[in-house]
Amino acid sequence: MLDFVQLEADLDQEERMIRDTAREFVDEHVRPDIGDHFEEGTFPTELIPKMGELGFYAPNLEGYGSPNVSETAYGLLMQELEACDSGLRSMASVQGALVMYPIHAYGSEEQKEEWLPKLGQGEAVGCFGLTEPEHGSNPSGMETYATEDGDGYVLNGSKTWITNSPIADVAVVWARDRSADEEPVRGFLVETDRDGVTTNKITEKLSLRASITGEIGLNDVSVPEENVLPGVSGMKGPLSCLTQARYGIAWGAVGAARDAFEEARQYAQDREQFGGPIGRFQLQQGKLAEMATQITLAQLLAYRLAELKERGDMQPQHVSMAKRNNVRMARDQSRVAREMLGGNGITTDYSPMRHMANMETVYTYEGTHDIHTLVLGEELTGIPAYQ
């Protein structure tokens, strides 16, 4: 497995154990069927509790059943899951960073006790409803709103492109609170079996096919006051969750690229043309050399991000740079790997084209490549260029 500058040597025992557990899990339970899931547009939902049992959902949180592992261990976990498929890593990212994290950071004691153990064990599935049909890159324009009604709120609006919404038990829905001055954005825990909630599946995807994506319709949905996340108000709520998830993506994308690289490296040794393996041609070696270099650079950025996060110095702009760079790298390099596999490379028998297709989603969600460019532009010049 590619580890060109011996990063493995610095891992502690727990980090190795978590990485190996994830690697063995995907090899045994997911890899054999992942091509079929991708073709059929399905997710292996029967593995959701098993992933919980193995500690794949937010193990970097502390308490309520979460072991508080190092940020490097968490990153390695995301890397191994995405080395199998971005759909698998998306499952863990949404459940951990986008659902458990906001409950952990902003929830009441009752909300934490009710949801965190269940979500951590994969006994319940969560989803994160921020994006709307008319508001993607600019979520602060959201139109979903909550109005106070007796002891609770009534929610109206629609969310789209929501990972796992059709199979979720609970949605973290971000909505404007119309009862408060300036209508701040607040987080609501919405059980999906409440009257007025619909979660239609989006089926026409050509990317991230081994992941369930849907909408959330909210039509006069009543939720009690105790379902509001009390600890946060404003866009800081959803944006801070996205920072957590993007951290995992920066690591995960390296896994996808590494897997595509390994497939290409093997193929270059096995496939013979003109009387010998294609790996003896300088053109093919040049591709492998460039891929290995780009993967290694992205890996180094991910490891540095883990150090910053561990000591509390990681800023959103650091995450923007890593998400932006590492996903672009994985998108580019999985295409090169695909190309090295010739005609076989366009099938689901090999991983590179699946990773390449997945990367179109990963490049787009959690802040598009363009939006992260603007975040960096603002950081470097002090001038925001969003509008």
CA distance 208 to 90: 9
Q: Minimum distance from CB of 356 to ligand FAD (Å)?
A: 15
Q: Which two tokens stand for residue 99?
A: 């659902």
Written as one letter, the residue type at 254 is V
* Minimum distance from residue 351 beta carbon to ligand FAD (Å): 18
Residue 386 touching ligand FAD (CB under 6 A): yes
Could you say whether residue 162 binds ligand FAD (CB under 6 A)? Answer: yes
Q: Give yes or no: 366 in active site.
A: yes
Q: How far is the CB of 135 from ligand FAD (least distance, A)?
A: 7
CB of 140 to ligand FAD, least distance (A): 12
CA distance 188 to 155: 9
Site for ligand FAD in 297-326 (CB under 6 A): none
Shorter beta-carbon distance to ligand FAD: residue 41 or 279:
41
Q: How many CB atoms lie within 10 A of CB 151?
A: 9
**Using CA of residue 107, residue 113, residue 117, residue 123, what is the dihedral sign?**
negative
Give the C-alpha separation, 371 to 258, whole Å.
25
**Toward ligand FAD, which CB reaches closer, 213 or 325?**
213
> What is the rounded distance in angstroms from the CA atom of residue 162 to the CA atom of residue 192?
13
Residues in the chain, total: 387
Q: Nearer to ligand FAD by C-beta: 131 or 199?
A: 131
How far is residue 146 from each of residues 103, 130, 184, 341, 387, measured CA to CA in Å?
19, 14, 10, 52, 27
Q: Which residue's beta carbon is nearest to the bound ligand FAD?
A: 136
What tokens does 348 get? Answer: 């689901």
Q: Which of 110, 113, 366, 379 is catalytic?
A: 366
Q: Does 163 bind ligand FAD (CB under 6 A)?
A: yes
Nearest distance from C-beta of residue 243 to ligand FAD, angstroms: 14
Interface residue with ligand FAD among 47, 48, 92, 94 (CB under 6 A) is 94
Check binding of 153 to ligand FAD (CB under 6 A): no
Residue whose C-alpha is closest to residue 334's, from 364, 360, 311, 302: 360
Does residue 168 bind ligand FAD (CB under 6 A)?
no
Nearer Cβ to ligand FAD (128/303): 128
The angle subtended at Cα 12 by Cα 117 and Cα 63, nearest 5°, is: 20
Q: Of the ranges 8-16, 51-59, 129-137, 272-280, which one interacts with ligand FAD (CB under 6 A)?
A: 129-137
Contact of 159 with 144, CB cutoff 8 Å: yes
Alpha-carbon span 18 to 58, nearest angstrom: 13
Question: How many residues sit in the footprint of ligand FAD (CB under 6 A)?
Answer: 21
The binding track of 347-376 with respect to ligand FAD, each residue x by CB under 6 A or -, is --------------x--xxx-x-xx--x--
Give kind and range of the element (H or E) at residue 170.
Answer: strand 170-177
> Segment contacting ligand FAD (CB under 6 A): 40-48, 73-81, 122-130, 288-296?
122-130
Residue with token string 């610095």: 10
Among 137, 140, 203, 266, binds ligand FAD (CB under 6 A): 137
Output the six-digit token pair for 224: 């009690």
- Spatial CA neighbour of 89 closest among 254, 241, 238, 235: 254
**Binding-site member from 43, 101, 128, 303 for ligand FAD (CB under 6 A):** 128
List the one residue from 66, 79, 86, 213 that touches ligand FAD (CB under 6 A).
Answer: 213
In three-state secondary structure terms, 156 is strand
Contact residues toward ligand FAD (CB under 6 A) are: 94, 128-131, 136-137, 161-163, 208, 213, 361, 364-366, 368, 370-371, 374, 386
What positions carry a catalytic annotation?
366
